[in-house]
Amino acid sequence: MLIAALLVSTYYSDANEVSFTNPILPGGYPDPSICRVNNTFYMVNSSFEYFPGLPIHQSNDLVNWTLVGYGLHRSEQVYAGINLLDVQSNGGIHAPTLRCRGDKFYIITTNVYQPVGSTQPAQMINFVVTADNISGPWSDPYIIDGAPGIDPDLFFDDDGRVWYVGTHAPNKPNYPGEGEIWLQELDSQSWQLKGPRHFLWRGALYGAIWAEGPHIYKRSGRYYLMVAEGGTSFDHAVTIAVSDKITGPYIGNARNPILTSRHLSYDNWVHSTGHGDLVELADGRWYMVALGVRGDEQRGSNMGRETHLMPVIWEREPYKWKQVRHEWPVVAPLTGKVERINPLPFSDRQQHPKTVFIDQFDTAELDLQWNFRRMPASGLYSTTERPGYLRLTTSPAVPTNSGRASLMGIRQTESDFEYQVAMEFTSSTNNVEAGVNLFQKDNNYLSYTIVRRDDSYSLQLMAALPKKSLEVLAQTPMANYQGEIRLRVKATGQSYYFGYSLDQGQSWMPFVETRADLLLSRGYTGAYMGLYTTSNGESTTDFVDFDWVRYKGIER
């Protein structure tokens, strides 16, 4: 036991030099899909109701990733049938697949949309976008008619045929919530389905809900179908099956699931691991990317589902009595689970975590890190109207289901952090406010703002919590406010500390402390550090100017 402890101590003491830390994409980056072109890796993630949608990262070593663009980044794409204008919370862009064929990139995904006030089931619109360059521009969507379900996969076979791999609820389920994977050929010119539809597999975990997130791979002449099962919470898992023909029949791996945390304590450092994608390196090694949720706050996380990386080896079944002994992928072969600390994929390339984000708004183009809840209204912001500042136009709207407020943000990447903004704001209208908004959903946010009320200014913190009315947590008059203020939020342990400065940061005043679990992810996305202004229903021409934004994540 002493020798083992010494070995572990030595390993962890050298961790910064020989290892990387999961997640490799911290913050709300769920449902990863990965591909490789020569020695460069590309990855896309779900974005749900956010715009721009389909964030795309690039890496040369699998552990350091750079955001290079979005698959949905133009208003024309939205108006071409991918509604991100009034899409509902947790709707929008689900579980994409990114693939490269020749000199072209392809993303196939689903937009889940339910009209405001509708009681009908949500519409599931499956589509493809293409690009010659990974950073775009990406094409208008090619909407695929007659394709039910979510989480489609795109598979290019060696014979030139292109296949759509989808999900649906079978006509005769064996239990409630059972899903089924289906396959049909795609015309690569029209992007429409053709030929017969084949029903492949219903998953390996009988009684687990909804086989989804399929990916097909071809290795040594055989087809491997990998899926996600068990929902998106603690029972999430990855399972796999194999066939000699792409149309099946598929035989499940007797050792399924090949990745899960369902057998671990609910208090494991990460849980809900699943929804993976495999990539082969140029030297023949394999890795998997998959989502997982850190258990930092009450077995949950403000960041929601994040992207993790695990090594994969292939092993042949040892049973000599079997006529066919299949090869199967083994994920994280040393421990069988997602580890926080792992050996580097390339020992000469260390991980350099990007824990700091600073934007001084000195360029005309908005930094790629900024996101909006739904496509922003025209004229919502400007980086040129006052050079060196971001001007955010005040809107009458407040965050509401399917609504578009004057709200934008960057992802929270660690449970502990410090977030600061410097802003200038005055108003001639009562009930107008501007400042910081930390948000998860339309009904889950903390609004930390200067508000004009009764012809004077106050500083206030308001909380919107699910199934509760909007609540004022703290408020104080600001008699010395002259139109400039710095706002700060610090998260340490299980608390948020809100403070402010009226003298350009020379001195800071404490305002209020709250629990850190008010923004726990209860949906598919993670928390954002935001900028916000509203006139609370009043007509106004007001705006707020932000001089800079600083965010630093602090690893626990």
pLDDT at 117: 87
Q: Give the pLDDT of residue 54.
A: 98
pLDDT along the chain (556 residues), means of 10: 34 62 98 98 98 98 98 97 95 98 96 92 96 98 98 97 97 93 97 98 91 97 97 96 98 97 97 98 98 95 97 96 94 97 97 96 97 96 97 96 96 98 95 97 97 94 93 96 97 96 96 95 92 95 97 93
DSSP class of 297? B
Catalytic one of 61, 153, 212, 235: 212
pLDDT in tens, 430-456: 999 999 999 999 999 999 999 998 889
Letter string b/e over residues 119-141, b meaning 16 or more CB atoms within 10 A of that residue's CB:
eeebebbbbbbbbeebebebbbb
pLDDT computed for residue 152 by the predictor: 98
Query: Quick one: 511 exposed, middle or buried, by C-beta within 10 A (0-12, 13-18, 19+)?
Result: buried
CA–chain centroid gap for 94, Å, is 10
Q: Who contacts 49 (Cβ-Cβ below 8 Å, separation ≥6)? A: 84, 87, 88, 89, 90, 91, 92, 373, 374, 525
Residue 207's pLDDT is: 84
pLDDT value at position 16?
57
Which helix (DSSP H) or strand (DSSP E) does residue 396 occupy? none
Beta strands in 24-83 (DSSP E): 33-37, 40-44, 50-51, 53-59, 66-72
Q: What are the structural domains of the chain?
A: 29-309 (2.115.10.20), 356-554 (2.60.120.200)
Q: Between β-strands 162-168 and 471-477, what pairing exists: parallel, antiparallel or unpaired?
A: unpaired
How confident is the model at residue 9, as a pLDDT? 35
According to DSSP, the residues that pair with 358 across neighbouring strands are: 550
Catalytic residue list contains 418: no
Among the listed residues 31, 180, 229, 235, the single catalytic one is: 31
Structure tokens at 272: 């809900």
Pairing of strands 162-168, 237-243: unpaired
State the pLDDT at residue 221. 96
Report which of 380, 374, 421, 375 is spatially closest to residue 525, judged by C-alpha positions.
374
Q: Is 212 tagged catalytic?
A: yes
pLDDT at residue 6, as a whole number = 33
Reduce the DSSP state of residue 242 to 3 states and report it: strand
Question: Given this model, what pLDDT does residue 556 score?
Answer: 84
pLDDT score, position 256: 97
Cα–Cα dist 156/35, whole Å: 13
Q: Please give the backbone phi and psi of residue 505, each rounded to the nearest 5 degrees, phi first.
A: 85, 5
pLDDT of residue 475: 97
Cα gap 338→276, rounded to integer Å: 12
pTM: 0.95
